[in-house]
């Protein structure tokens, strides 16, 4: 075989080996890139899954048991601040009372505030409210909470929306059945008080606690057919 042929063959062989080596190196680099890319995609997927916002769930019960209060089967919580000495309020009686109200589940803002210490004796006030027990003139919480209280007695009640002011449909939609609070009281005596109460009642969704607290004092219990006819 001529010498020039052997040289040419050696050159071609070397060139093939160089091409093969370059191909292997390129394939190896591609494999490494592919693995890094897969790792990056996986990391991105995990990170994306981690930052997905949690689906909000309605708390099972906003109203937690308060110290010193007795919880009744209805969910109403009661606490006697002062024991009265007069007639006992029962179904069918007309109760003359004075009261304070607070949005205890929302910063404890007052929607009805009387002079004097909260939960005190309400001395010096003569602007009384009244309702007949069992006629649905006030919220169910007050209807239930006033029973058994004697004249002069002061009681605090904490209650959820189910025992509060009437709403249309789901209370989370914030549609009041009695916006003026004329049919179902107690009605706040001031515009600012009504606004504070209505802000809580008309709030939509699950995020705002609509638990309320009412302090009341039974001033007088009128019995059917008694001195104060009604």
- Angle made by CA atoms 25, 29, 32, in degrees to the nearest 5: 140
Q: Given this model, what pLDDT does residue 88 score?
A: 97
Express each pLDDT in 209-222 by its tens digit. Answer: 999 999 999 999 99
123-127, 134-138, 148-152, 189-193: least confident range: 123-127
Q: How far is CA 45 from CA 9, 16, 32, 41, 204, in A?
A: 53, 43, 20, 6, 34
- Mean pLDDT (the chain) is 78
Question: What Cα–Cα distance (Å) separates residue 155 from each residue in 69, 158, 206?
Answer: 10, 10, 29
- List, in sequence order, every beta strand (DSSP E) within 29-116: 70-71, 77-82, 94-103, 109-112
Residue 111 reports pLDDT greater than 70: yes
pLDDT tens-digit map of 87-98: 999 999 999 999
More confident residue, 117 or 144: 144
Q: Which of 153, 182, 179, 162 is nearest to 79 (CA)?
A: 153
> What pTM was computed for the model?
0.69
């Amino acid at each position: 075989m001529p010498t020039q042929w052997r040289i040419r063959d050696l050159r071609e062989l070397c060139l093939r080996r160089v091409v093969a080596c370059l191909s292997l190196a390129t394939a190896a680099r591609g494999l490494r890139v592919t693995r890094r890319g897969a790792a990056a995609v996986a990391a991105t997927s995990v990170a994306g899954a981690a930052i997905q916002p949690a689906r909000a769930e309605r708390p099972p019960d906003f109203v937690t048991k308060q110290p010193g209060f007795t919880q009744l089967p209805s969910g109403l919580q009661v606490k006697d601040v002062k024991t009265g000495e007069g007639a006992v309020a029962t179904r069918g009686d007309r109760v003359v009372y004075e009261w304070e109200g607070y949005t205890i589940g929302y910063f404890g803002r007052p929607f009805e505030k009387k002079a004097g210490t909260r939960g005190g004796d309400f001395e010096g006030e003569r602007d009384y409210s009244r309702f007949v027990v069992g006629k649905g003139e006030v919220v169910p919480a007050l209807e239930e909470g006033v029973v058994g209280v004697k004249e002069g007695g002061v009681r605090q009640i904490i209650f959820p929306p189910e025992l509060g002011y009437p709403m249309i449909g789901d209370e989370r939609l914030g549609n009041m059945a009695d916006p003026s609070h004329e049919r179902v009281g107690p009605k706040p005596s001031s515009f600012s008080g009504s606004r504070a109460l209505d802000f809580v009642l008309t709030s939509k969704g699950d995020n705002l606690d609509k638990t309320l607290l009412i302090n009341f004092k039974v001033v007088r219990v009128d019995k059917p057919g008694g001195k104060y006819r009604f």
